[in-house]
Chains A and B, each alone.
Chain A
């Protein structure tokens, strides 16, 4: 049976209950459900959902294909624009993207279930291991992709399609990036991230090399020397500090590490969690960590965010999800110091009340202490420009143009590591794909500059 001991311990719930808690958040649509759901699409002209999708998937077309019994064709429509359409179907905040734009919202405040339909179609193709793309004739070009996350994988796939050879360098044990390590377990069950990597790389010509960290194991200069082009999709390796006193105390941890540990555990039953957990932050990561802490059996889980509800990066849906799972969300609180017990472990966190004065966030002077034996920090990740000091940065991230070109010739970048990134899987995919097209154009123009010159 479970336990309600204080401290950070595993087994707060029986293993069977934990297993049940971590099943699919949204069950896949059955064929019947998919047909009913697809019937609701109006096949809009210049569809707003399509415009809202960062990868511009032809949503009306793929839904119409599902409705006519052609789920396989629907999958190809999706993959044409977004080879990671399977993961995006699971993790996209559709409520702020395609489904928010759905005209059904205006009609009856209930959009077409685009995300779940996309999953139905992509699952159909992936379960059949149907590969839609063949590689073009070899170009003899070699491209280094740094980071096997959404941006890197999308870039690698498109490059491989064009006939280039791609070597993907990734710092971690497994490819997938945040898809593998950074997403709540219940959004990508059954090892989906790893299966998707296999599906994407099955096209051939993509060689993934793990445990290769830029600045440690490989150097940008070597990559630019060895390859015809380099794409950087390195993501955000760093995390922001709390700037609260006592942050180093035992029991204080980065939420991303907690989430990653959960993802890598086959059963989740071995993951320790506090009896009372405080999560600091207001984004998706905070919600992912808080909800999962609750699902592991934490008695009290509180998200503390230093501004109001309307400022939270977590979507309305995510906030509701957290509330439904029993997480308390408190606003206008920012951490002051970690309260430790006799053994030096976390006993609570002292929070300062905040307010906006003249447009600036300040503390009111009032404070409160929330009892906690675990504090998870989810106040944002940062780009660590290790080995990339030659690139122009802006607000701590790589500057890249619309095609993904950085300040250094022959080096492209995309995903969370670039400035103006939206920190979304789907945006990373779009940037990786578009950078691949740009790389291809550039390299092929070099090989055969005739067209422009003759004209």
Chain B
């Protein structure tokens, strides 16, 4: 049986599934329930400075978008960091860590960008026995207006500075949580590394207006007739998170920097995708907020079963395995040619492949053959774009089949070339021609 024990920058947990710093990790009650359910670790909801805690809105804090059957696909929130007293949180953290020594307990921290503030809080956190700290440079709403959260994460110099303070004032491992609300995720990651961070975690939530109340002409969630942009998360943000994780994993400057992957992890499969793109573990929030803590059982068994099936023994066997295969567009093989094939036995005749191709792509799928409703790929028109595969409601009904080298591509009338050739050497590329001259 696969060993899914996790060692992330020296922090050990029985599995790589942590709960992200968020409402589910707000207090001992929730965290105890999470550990009972089997979660490997939690990042405690972000602590603020000593003194009067922040205040949350007393109206709706969440908005959502849904897919079919009202399946929650994206969640947006305007909740701030913990609104509980610092000492209460610290006391509970200490007790929980004592009760659950085998689980990871990380303290998320957000205090002003002032050395004294960090210097003050770090010893207090360390005293709880927490396994590490996560610097919240990510929240895009509320706290960012006060110069914290993503306001820090958007300035690489600030990131580097704060990380340096933390490394100076605590022995605990430092995980720097990054905001996706930037243009190039590599810049804040590099800054964190320069500051000496032990790891980065990403992504935090994305600036968003999740929907608009059309009766009241106000963004959702609407608080007394007004709305504010919030932080977007859940399954909808996973593709953005995966890319950002991969960008850091394959960047020469940050390659090898441990990554805790966050963003829409809902199933074991999502988690495995983050791991193979370079994440050492994953953090989950929206899935738990949608279905409760029990979902971790599916994640644990799913990941373990998949690893068994594929012969992967430990998480190290899979972490980063897909990173070498993430490349720039210019290096993709232009001699690779694939065509869509429709399995007529599985086809239910909905015709969505046809109309998608006919209206919006390459007019390469029939709707009628010999007067009978029939959907079939015309290989002499098919560019292999994969749109039909994506709109087909039946799994595996349409597949992309690579043409064997040496066979004829009916669309171009050319024989499939077995050699690898990309844009950098293509005759249509002016830069390539220049190089040839």
A residues with a Cβ closer than 8 A to B are 35-36, 39-40, 42-48, 103-104, 106-107
- Given A35-B70, A107-B394, the answer on whether A48 and B349 have CB atoms closer than 8 Å is yes
Residues in chain B near residue A45, CB distance under 8 A: 350-352, 354-355, 367
Q: Is the CB of B69 within 8 A of A39?
A: yes
Q: Does B55 contact A (CB under 8 A)?
A: no
Residues of A within 8 A of B171 (CB): none
Q: Are A107 and B393 in contact (CB under 8 A)?
A: yes
A146 nearest CB across to chain B (Å): 39
Contact pick for A44, options B68, B69, B351, B394, CB 8 Å: B351
State A48–B394 Cα separation when bound (angstroms).
Answer: 17
With A48-B373, A107-B393 known to touch, is A42 a contact of B350 (CB < 8 Å)? Answer: yes
A-B residue pairs in contact (CB < 8 Å), sample of 20:
A35-B70, A36-B69, A39-B68, A39-B69, A40-B68, A42-B393, A44-B349, A44-B350, A44-B351, A44-B352, A45-B350, A45-B351, A45-B352, A45-B355, A46-B351, A47-B351, A104-B348, A106-B348, A106-B349, A107-B348
**Which chain B positions have C-beta within 8 A of A48?**
349, 373
Q: Which residues of A contact B352 (CB under 8 A)?
A: 42-45
In the bound complex, residues from chain A placing their C-beta under 8 Å from that of B393 are 42, 107
Contacts of B69 in A (CB 8 A): 36, 39
Residues 15 to 56 of chain B near chain A (Cβ within 8 Å): none
Q: Are A46 and B70 in contact (CB-based, < 8 A)? A: no
- The distance from the CB of A420 to the nearest CB of chain B, in whole angstroms, is 23
Question: 5 closest pairs, A vs B, by CB?
Answer: A45-B351, A45-B355, A106-B348, A39-B68, A103-B348
Report whether A103 and B68 are in contact in the complex, using a CB–CB cutoff of 8 Å: no
User: Can you name the residue of chain B whose Cβ is closest to the Cβ of A106?
Assistant: B348
B residues with a Cβ closer than 8 A to A are 68-70, 348-352, 354-355, 367, 373, 393-394
Residues of B within 8 A of A44 (CB): 349-352
Instruction: Specify the chain A residue showing the minimal Cβ separation from B351.
Output: A45
With contacts A45-B351, A104-B348 known, what are 17 further pairs, Cβ within 8 A? A36-B70, A39-B68, A40-B68, A42-B352, A42-B393, A44-B349, A44-B350, A44-B351, A45-B367, A46-B351, A46-B367, A48-B373, A103-B350, A106-B348, A106-B349, A107-B348, A107-B394
A107 to B352, CA, bound (A): 14
**Inter-chain contacts of B349 with A (CB < 8 A):** 44, 48, 103, 106
A106, B394: Cα distance in complex, Å: 11
- In the bound assembly, the distance between CA atoms of A103 and B373 in angstroms comes to 12
Contact partners of A104 in chain B: CB under 8 A: 348
B68: chain A residues at CB < 8 Å are: 39-40
* A-side contacts of B373, CB under 8 Å: 46, 48
Q: Give complex CA distance A64, B235 in Å.
A: 24
* Alpha-carbon distance between A47 and B367 when the two chains are bound, in angstroms: 11
Residue in A closest to B69 when the chains form the complex, CB atoms? A39
Residues of chain B within 8 A (CB-CB) of A39 are 68-69
Please measure, in the bound complex, the distance between the C-alpha atom of A48 and the C-alpha atom of B350, giving whole angstroms. 8
CA distance A30 to B355 in the complex (A): 32
In whole angstroms, what is the CA distance A399 to B68 when docked? Answer: 49
The answer for the CA separation of A48 and B68 in the assembled complex, in Å, is 22
Kindly state the separation between the CA atoms of A45 and B353 in the bound complex, as whole angstroms: 9
Contacts of B355 in A (CB 8 A): 45
Task: Report Cα–Cα, A103/B351, bound state, in Å.
Answer: 10
A35 to B71, CA, bound (A): 12
State the CA gap A47–B348 with chains docked (Å). Answer: 12
Closest to B356 in A: A45
Q: Which residue of B lies closest to A32 (CB)?
A: B70
Docked pose: A118 CA to B355 CA in angstroms: 25
Taking the nearest CB of chain B, how far is it from the CB of A293, in angstroms?
Answer: 41
* Nearest B residue to A45, CB-CB: B351
Residues of chain B contacted by A35 (CB below 8 angstroms):
70
| Bound: A307/B116 CA distance, A | 95
For A67, give the chain B residue with the smallest CB separation.
B68
List, in ascending order, chain B residues with CB within 8 A of A46's CB.
351, 367, 373
Measured between C-beta atoms, what is the minimum distance from B162 to chain A in Å?
A: 46
A302 to B188, CA, bound (A): 81
B392 nearest in chain A by CB position: A42
With the chains together, A49 CA to B150 CA distance in Å?
A: 52
- Nearest CB in chain B to that of A43: its residue: B352
The residue in A40, A42, A45 that gathers the most chain B C-beta atoms within 10 A of its C-beta is A45
The answer for the CA separation of A36 and B355 in the assembled complex, in Å, is: 25
Please, which residue of chain B has its CB at the minimum distance from the CB of A44? B350
- Give complex CA distance A40, B350 in Å: 12
Q: Shortest Cβ distance from A437 into chain B, in angstroms?
A: 27
Distance in angstroms from A103 CB to nearest chain B CB is 4
Residue with the greatest number of chain A CB neighbours at <10 A, chosen from B68, B348, B352, B354: B348
Please report the C-alpha to C-alpha distance between residue A57 and residue B332 in the assembled complex, in whole angstroms. 48
Residue from A40, A44, A47 whose CB has the most chain B CB atoms within 10 Å: A44
Q: Which residue of B lies closest to A60 (CB)?
A: B350
Which residues on A sit within 8 Å (CB–CB) of B70? 35-36
The smallest C-beta distance from B249 to any residue of chain A, in angstroms, reads: 37
Closest to B375 in A: A45
Chain B, residue nearest A48 (CB): B349
How far, in Å, is A39 (CB) from chain B's closest CB? 4
- Report the minimum CB–CB distance from A99 to chain B (whole Å): 14
Residue of B nearest to A42 (CB): B350
- Closest CB in chain B relative to A111 CB, distance in Å: 11
The answer for the CA separation of A46 and B367 in the assembled complex, in Å, is 9
Shortest CB-to-CB span from A326 to chain B, Å, is 36
With CB as the reference atom, state the residue of chain A lying closest to B355: A45
Docked complex Cα distance between A430 and B393 (Å): 32
Give, as a whole number of angstroms, the nearest-CB distance from A83 to chain B: 29
Q: How far is the CB of A275 from chain B (nearest CB, A)?
A: 48
With most chain A CB atoms within 10 A of its CB, the pick from B349, B352, B367 is B349
Q: Closest Cβ of chain B: how far from A71's Cβ, in Å? A: 16
Q: How far is the CB of B88 from chain A (nearest CB, A)?
A: 41
Bound CA–CA A36/B71 (angstroms): 11
Residues of B within 8 A of A43 (CB): 352
How long is the Cα–Cα vector from A103 to B70 in the complex, in angstroms? 22
The residue in chain B whose Cβ has the minimal distance to the Cβ of A46 is B351
CA–CA, A40 and B70, complex, Å: 12
CA A103 to CA B393, docked complex, whole Å: 11
> Which chain B positions have C-beta within 8 A of A106?
348-349
Q: Note all chain A residues with C-beta closer than 8 A to B348.
A: 103-104, 106-107
In the complex, A407 Cα to B74 Cα: how many Å? 64
Instruction: Report B-chain residues with C-beta under 8 Å of the C-beta of A103.
Output: 348-350
Chain A residues with CB under 8 A of B367:
45-46
Nearest Cβ on chain A to B281's Cβ, whole angstroms? 35
Whole-angstrom distance between the alpha carbons of A47 and B350 in the complex? 7
Closest beta carbon of chain A to B58's beta carbon, Å: 28
| Min CB–CB distance A117 → chain B (angstroms) | 15
Question: Across the two chains, which residue of chain A brings its CB closest to B368?
Answer: A46
Which residue of B is nearest A37, CB measured? Answer: B69
List, in ascending order, chain B residues with CB within 8 A of A107's CB.
Answer: 348, 393-394
Nearest CB to that of A101 among chain B residues? B349
Give the distance in Å from the alpha carbon of A36 to the alpha carbon of B69 in the complex: 5
CA distance A48 to B375 in the complex (A): 14
In the complex the two chains form, what is the Cα distance from A35 to B68 in whole Å?
Answer: 9
Whose C-beta in chain B lies nearest to the C-beta of A35? B70
Taking the nearest CB of chain B, how far is it from the CB of A69, in angstroms? 10
